[in-house]
């Protein structure tokens, strides 16, 4: 069973701090990795995707991928109260032509003013 | 405005009463998918469709049916709903090829009594 695991949290950080969200996956051949943000009662929205080992930066967000260790992380710099949400890690399995995404159960982030 | 729409947004029904949740997208996406989201379990794929008249089972298809007669529409049918189908349902779509960013509809909260 392919799995994606996240700590459910909540992860509580003060405003202005760096929030670090982590995700591990079991399918070693997975190729594509996505971070979605989901506000309470709303639908998931894509924040970032990453394909290659290393870091990818977009504004205050940095995704990090380490395929050898099978983990992907999301860093949020200068965290704001508006960043308080659940962050979903999603993985596209290797050799899957169905465009299926395997989601983790999400980490709830709370940014304290 | 590019979007995925779902109807109804909220539904309370009783066991065994057939229902349909509609999903429509205006982005000319080939791929459409249905997910259910339950606490602690994350998003799980029910069915997906690669294009018109092409559908296939996801991870949790039991008790559900779908059809894809038109590119823009992908209804989810519960022929005989049961209480264990009480959940939050999301429809998603994306282009095939490329990064496959999946765009999600607003969600349908279903309660089966």
**Residue A44 forms contact with B (CB below 8 Å):** yes
**Residue B90 forms contact with A (CB below 8 Å):** yes
Cis peptide before B20 (omega within 30 of 0): no
CB contact under 8 A, B96 and A99: yes
Span B14-73, pLDDT tens digits: 999 999 999 999 999 999 999 999 988 889 999 999 999 999 999 899 999 999 999 999
Q: Which residue of chain B is at minimal alpha-carbon distance from A105?
A: B42
**Location of structure tokens 């999600």:** B104
- Distance CA(A9)–CA(A5), nearest Å, equals 12
**Residue B34 forms contact with A (CB below 8 Å):** no
What confidence tier does A96 reach under pLDDT thresholds 50, 70, 90? low
- Token duo for residue B48: 């997906």
Find, among B21, B76, B17, the residue nearest to B46 by Cα. Answer: B76
Q: Are β-strands B65-66 and A11-14 bridged in parallel, bridged antiparallel, or unpaired?
A: unpaired
pLDDT of residue A1 exceeding 60: no
- Distance CA(A93)–CA(A31), nearest Å, equals 7
Q: How many CB pairs under 8 A join A and B?
A: 52
Span A3-42, pLDDT tens digits: 899 998 899 999 999 999 999 999 888 888 999 999 998 9
**Which residue in A5, A98, A107 has the most chain B C-beta atoms within 10 A of its own C-beta, making it the best mutation to test that interface?**
A98
pLDDT of residue A50: 94
Which chain B residues are Cβ-neighbours of A32 within 8 angstroms? Answer: 99-100
- The contacts of residue B20 (CB under 8 Å, 6+ apart) are B75, B76, B77, B78
Whether B74 and B105 have beta carbons less than 8 Å apart is answered as: no
Minimal CA separation from A105 to chain B, in Å:
4
**Residue A88 forms contact with B (CB below 8 Å):** yes
CB contact under 8 A, A43 and B105: yes
- Distance CA(A35)–CA(B103), nearest Å, equals 13
**Residue B44 forms contact with A (CB below 8 Å):** yes
């Amino acid at each position: 069973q392919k799995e994606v695991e996240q700590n459910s949290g909540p992860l509580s950080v003060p405003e202005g701090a760096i929030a670090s969200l982590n995700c591990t996956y079991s399918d070693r051949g997975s190729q594509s990795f996505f971070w979605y943000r989901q506000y309470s009662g709303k639908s998931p929205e894509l924040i970032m995707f990453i394909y290659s080992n290393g870091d990818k930066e977009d504004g205050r967000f940095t995704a990090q991928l380490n395929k050898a260790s099978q983990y992907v992380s999301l860093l949020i710099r200068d965290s704001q109260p508006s960043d308080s949400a659940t962050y979903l890690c999603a993985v596209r399995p290797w050799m899957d032509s169905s465009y299926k995404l395997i989601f983790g159960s999400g980490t709830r982030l709370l940014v304290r003013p | 405005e590019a979007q995925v729409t779902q109807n109804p947004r909220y539904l309370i029904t009783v066991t065994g009463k057939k229902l349909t949740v509609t999903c429509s997208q205006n982005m000319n996406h080939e791929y459409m998918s249905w997910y259910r989201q339950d606490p602690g379990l994350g998003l799980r794929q029910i069915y997906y469709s690669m294009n018109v008249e092409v559908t296939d089972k996801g991870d949790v298809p039991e008790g559900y049916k779908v059809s894809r007669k038109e590119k823009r529409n992908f209804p989810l049918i519960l022929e005989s709903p049961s209480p264990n189908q009480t959940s939050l349902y999301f429809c998603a779509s994306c282009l095939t090829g490329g990064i496959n960013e999946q765009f999600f509809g607003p969600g349908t909260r279903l309660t089966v009594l």
